[in-house]
Structure 1
Amino acid sequence: MTNHSPTARRIAKTILNGFNAYFADYQNITLGAKARFETASWQAAHEANKARIDLYKTKVTQVVELVHSVTSKDTNRLELWRDARATYAQLIANHNNYEIAETFFNSVFCSQFHHANIHDSNIFVKPSRTPEDKPLRDYSIYISYSARDSLEYMIEDILKDFRFSTPWENMERDVIHICDSLRNAPLANLDNEKHLRVDMLESVFYRNKAAYLVGRIILNGEVIPMIFPCLNNGRGGIFVDTLIYNNDSASIIFSFTRSYFMVDAPIPSRFVRFLSTIMPLKEKSELYNSIGFHKHGKTEFYRHVLAHMKVSNDKFVIAPGIKGMVMSVFTLPSYPVVFKIIKDEFDEPKTVTKKIVKEKYKFVSRSDRVGRMADTQEYSFFIFYRNRFSEELIKELQEVAPSQLIIDDKRVIIKHLYVERRMEPLNLYLQHANEEQTWEAMEEYGNAIKQLAAANIFPGDMLLKNFGVTRHGRVVFYDYDELCPLTECNFRKLPQAQTVEQELADRPWYTVAEADVFPEEFRLFFSGNPTARAAFEKLHSDLYNYRFWKLLQDRIRAGHVESAFPYRRKWRFHRRSHTRLQTK
């Protein structure tokens, strides 16, 4: 090991010890997911998810304090941290999770220097070494199965290997359902099932009220997803709810609109490589996010943006759509995300503050997004190249958020921003949608509102422009400055006018408290689009009734947790169906 100062070595060791302690605590919270699933402890699962997210910042703060305690020297000296970075790189050279350990070092440094001095000589902007590209056969995180004896025996072996403490409700029935689905679709043209190979990850993926067995089919050199979502019937039985066997459906299960999985992944990079084989279009950052390592997902995203900038030449522009009252939004046409900056002053009639907006985004990050809210990554002092910004965008940012900008001839540094996946705003989508697409979008829009409400989230401002359409056709909410817990709202029936003066009044003649919501007024969201309004009223007229919302509030207050399926309900297996298992 190259000689470094004793102080730098102590700092490096302190940070690495802190990372190892964080990772151990993280794994312990994760390992509890199995028991929570088996005992149907859904509220405990939600609390564990929040606790695991909060753990990272808690550990980083503790380590920053410890760094100050292991030296009497000035910890604001950059040369000391450069030396500590070099020492740290040597300490983690053979660490199984060196890349996540690098991110932890970065977080400690950024906390110490308030996100200033971002440079590869100070932190790990670039990884310290190239990740290993191991061939599939070298993985030790999955079990391989063969259909040599029969497809039924193979599926039965898989379910037996994943036996929970709670028994299977009816394994024989589930095996029949799975085999029928496989033969109807991915294996429909297979002449000889005995040549089939399946790899199943040993660890179960837990989220919301489901456990997912995740694997892949290897068929004539092709890799096909094979995912079994399993549910607890609440009466002491586990059952397979459906079979997922195509890339798009697998991608939706691991979507940026859903909460992070709880999965025992002692070496996360290996899980990411495996998942990449069944979802080749997903970036590494998204996969790290999906399995709960969202801080390292931020690192991977930043590195990917830098790499993309080197191979592209288009410019950042103002994002299409109606400009927001709270956020200024821009995008790079060749890159599928948007960057959102909180304005210095909000347009009328917005009354929220910057602090409240930040709290709303934090609330979303710790909530069950049920597939209807975009995951958002928060960055400080994000560095862009000045020559990649359009003059129109520079002018816009200087007008609405000058306090957030540091601009020189070469760089644009934004002090605070959020990054989200780019979607087409629903109001723009409807402008070119045909009648069938409009009806489908309105069904999705209503479903999004209902599913968010069932998760105790009220969007607040439900204008069409605040929802986006994904590449899979799902409608997702992405404007968070007015959302709140559903249980904090007071849903009321719109009072009927008693006099002509009241009927003609240009403002409410009745008292309206801050938390009051009148569902009958939701019709105003469709002004100017009669086709969308007709479709919505046909499909979701119950949302206009205040009793619908009050009933939902009662269920939430009683502790009920709704199921959130990341697949079509019509794909679910019929649990009453049962015939004798016939093996070949």
Structure 2
Amino acid sequence: MTNHSPTARRIAKTILNGFDAYFADFQNITLGAKARFETAAWQAVRQVSKTRIDLYKTKVNQVLRLVHSVTSKDTSQLALWRDARATYAQLIASHSNYEIAETFFNSVFCSQFDHAHIHDSNIFVKPSRTPDDKPLRDYSIYISYSARDGLEQMVEEILGDFGFSVPWENLPRDVENICAALRAVPLAGLGSGKQLRVDMLESVFYRNKAAYLVGRMIFHGEVMPMILPCLNNGRGGIFVDTLLHSNDSASIIFSFTRSYFMVDAPIPSRFVRFLSTIMPLKERSELYNSIGFHKHGKTEFYRHILAHMKVSNDQFVIAPGIKGMVMSVFTLPSYPVVFKVIKDHFDRPKTVTEQIVREKYKFVSRSDRVGRMADTQEYTNFIFYRNRFSEALLQELRDLVPSKLLITEKWVIIRHLYVERRMEPLNLYLQNASEEETREAMEEYGNAIKQLAAANIFPGDMLLKNFGVTRHGRVVFYDYDELCPLTECHFRKIPEARTAEQELADKPWYTVDEADVFPEEFRLFFSGNPTARAAFEELHSDLYDYRYWRRLQDRIHAGHVESAFPYRRKWRFRRRSLASAGRR
């Protein structure tokens, strides 16, 4: 083993101790999810989710202060940190969560140097060792079941092994529903189930008002998801709401538009490997995000795009769509994300400031996104190769974000940006949509607004260009500079004009405060698209009524938490009682 200075060893040990303390606190918060679900403590679910997100930065700052206290040497010397990095690599060589420990070291370093000096000699830009990929052999995290004695017995065993303290509402009914759904899976021979093996993760995935039992079915070499969402009826009973078995439905459950799961994952990499077997199209970064390790998700994303740059040759270009007033947005056509940079100056009539915009994005990251807002990762000093930028994009960045831009002969460094999943803007999608597709998109658009509102989020600017369409056809909001809590809005009806002059006036004849919202004006969002407007008004005309919004506010003030299902309501099982089952 290479000898390192005592100071470097103290720094490395301090950071590793800090990481272990962070991970223990993270796990303890997570372990409380079971009790919160069983007692239907939905308000606590939301608060604790924010607490767990904030925990990381709190611990990083705490550890940096400890680093300064364990040495009298100048901690701004890069040579000291290079030595500490080498020592740290040795210390975590046999650590079960070495990859997340690397990210923690990176965060402490970046906090010390304000995200400068990003190089693999200083931090872990590259992983310290090759990941151990054994996707089908992580036996310690799942239990295997066989259907050789029949589907009913297997399903009953599965449900019986999950130790909820609250009883099942109607276990025979749930077993019957699950078996009927399994027999309807379009896979030849699965109905008999004789050759079916099911691997169920022992840990339950908790989010919002649901608990998800997550596993996979292996049948004649084919791997399919098996996800059982469970709900609490609020009267002391748990029931299985549906069975999800397709890659797409699993992907939506673990979508970038949803808040992070609470799941007891003592070795997260093993869970990520397992989840990759049922969602092969999802990147590791998304899966780490989904189980709450969003900081390591950032690391995984950065490593992945660096690897992609080595095997691609297309250029970054200005993102398609109507340009926004607040952000300059660009993308790499061969990579499914957009990069958003806050402009130095905002176009009129925008009155927000850069700090306000940053606060809005922070608000989104800590909110329940209910499947209707894109998760966004924030980066400082993101480094790109200059030769991969189109001249048009470079010129736009020089014009719009000069204070955040550093260009050398080799690099383009952007001091602050957000990364977000790329979607087709809704206004562009509608240009080529059929009448049926338009109707479905308008149903989704209205549902997105309603579900966000029920989660106490008002989008503010609801123009079609601020919503995107995912590959699954879901409509998602992604422009955050004007959103706010719904409870901060004042919804009003437009007063009747008393004179002809008032009715024809260019400006309102009535007073309008900053928090005032007039839902009747939402019709303006469809200017130029009468087909979309007609479909929206047929499906969601209630959104034009100020009383709809006030009723929602009353429910939120009363402490009600709405249910937001990450699957279609028509897929939900029927919940007939045992008594009614006997009368059939």
Q: Which interval holds the TM-score relative to the shorter structure?
A: over 0.9
Deviation of 1:520 after TM superposition, in Å, equals 0.2
Deviation of 1:577 after TM superposition, in Å, equals 6.0
2:335 alignment counterpart: 335
Q: 1:194 to 1:501 in 2, by over 3 A?
A: same
Q: Measure, in 2, the Cα distance between the counterparts of 1:448 and 1:184.
A: 30
Q: Measure, in 2, the Cα distance between the counterparts of 1:580 and 1:146.
A: 31
Residues 385, 411 of structure 2: 8 Å contact kept: yes
1:404 alignment counterpart: 404
1:429 alignment counterpart: 429
Residues 329, 338 of structure 1: 8 Å contact kept: yes
2:168 alignment counterpart: 168
Q: Measure, in 1, the Cα distance between the counterparts of 2:134 and 2:366.
A: 34
The range that moved more, 146-155 or 371-380, is: 146-155
Q: Measure, in 2, the Cα distance between the counterparts of 1:438 and 1:175.
A: 39
Residues 277-333 of structure 1 deviation map (CA, whole Å, 9 limit, x = unaligned): 000000000000000000000000000000000000000000000001000000000
Residues 172, 581 of structure 1: 8 Å contact kept: no
Q: Residues 320-331 of structure 1 correspond to what in structure 2 (within 5 A)?
A: 320-331=320-331
Deviation of 1:247 after TM superposition, in Å, equals 0.2
SS in structure 1 at match of 2:145? strand
1:76 alignment counterpart: 76
Identity %: 84
Residues 135, 273 of structure 2: 8 Å contact kept: no
Q: Measure, in 1, the Cα distance between the counterparts of 2:135 and 2:366.
A: 36
- Residue type of the partner of 2:237? G
> Normalising by structure 1, what TM-score?
0.99
> Normalising by structure 2, what TM-score?
0.99
Q: Measure, in 2, the Cα distance between the counterparts of 1:319 and 1:231.
A: 41
Size of the alignment, in residue pairs?
582
Q: Residues 92-103 of structure 1 correspond to what in structure 2 (within 5 A)?
A: 92-103=92-103
Residues 238-274 of structure 1 deviation map (CA, whole Å, 9 limit, x = unaligned): 0000000000000000000000000000000000000
Q: Measure, in 1, the Cα distance between the counterparts of 2:386 and 2:53.
A: 34
Residues 182, 188 of structure 1: 8 Å contact kept: no
1:90 aligns with 2:96: no
Q: 1:130 to 1:541 in 2, by over 3 A?
A: same
Q: Measure, in 2, the Cα distance between the counterparts of 1:60 and 1:128.
A: 21
SS in structure 1 at match of 2:218? strand
SS in structure 1 at match of 2:137? helix
Q: Measure, in 2, the Cα distance between the counterparts of 1:4 and 1:581.
A: 72
Q: Measure, in 1, the Cα distance between the counterparts of 2:135 and 2:291.
A: 22
1:492 alignment counterpart: 492
Residues 384, 411 of structure 1: 8 Å contact kept: yes
1:375 aligns with 2:375: yes
2:3 alignment counterpart: 3
2:235 alignment counterpart: 235
Q: Measure, in 1, the Cα distance between the counterparts of 2:316 and 2:455.
A: 35
1:294 alignment counterpart: 294
Q: 1:191 to 1:440 in 2, by over 3 A?
A: closer
2:515 alignment counterpart: 515
1:23 alignment counterpart: 23
- Residue type of the partner of 2:570? K
Q: Measure, in 2, the Cα distance between the counterparts of 1:139 and 1:290.
A: 22
SS in structure 1 at match of 2:125? coil
Residues 14, 66 of structure 2: 8 Å contact kept: yes
Q: Measure, in 1, the Cα distance between the counterparts of 2:137 and 2:49.
A: 33
- Residue type of the partner of 1:244? L
Q: Measure, in 2, the Cα distance between the counterparts of 1:337 and 1:134.
A: 28
Deviation of 1:138 after TM superposition, in Å, equals 4.2
SS in structure 2 at match of 1:194? coil
Q: Measure, in 2, the Cα distance between the counterparts of 1:193 and 1:300.
A: 38
Q: Measure, in 1, the Cα distance between the counterparts of 2:314 and 2:578.
A: 58
- What residue ranges of structure 2 are gaps of 5+ in the alignment? none
SS in structure 1 at match of 2:200? strand
Q: Measure, in 2, the Cα distance between the counterparts of 1:435 and 1:442.
A: 11
Deviation of 1:539 after TM superposition, in Å, equals 0.3
Q: Residues 107-256 of structure 1 correspond to what in structure 2 (within 5 A)?
A: 107-134=107-134, 136-187=136-187, 189-190=189-190, 192-256=192-256
Q: Measure, in 1, the Cα distance between the counterparts of 2:302 and 2:501.
A: 59
SS in structure 2 at match of 1:132? coil
SS in structure 1 at match of 2:217? strand
Q: Measure, in 2, the Cα distance between the counterparts of 1:581 and 1:166.
A: 23
Q: Measure, in 1, the Cα distance between the counterparts of 2:511 and 2:81.
A: 60
1:14 alignment counterpart: 14
Q: 1:24 to 1:459 in 2, by over 3 A?
A: same
SS in structure 2 at match of 1:137? coil
Residues 127-163 of structure 1 deviation map (CA, whole Å, 9 limit, x = unaligned): 0000112252343100000112111000000000013
Residues 207-247 of structure 1 deviation map (CA, whole Å, 9 limit, x = unaligned): 00000000000000010100000000000000000000000
- Residue type of the partner of 1:15? I
Residues 154-210 of structure 1 deviation map (CA, whole Å, 9 limit, x = unaligned): 000000001300000001000000000000114553374222110000000000000
Q: 1:383 to 1:339 in 2, by over 3 A?
A: same
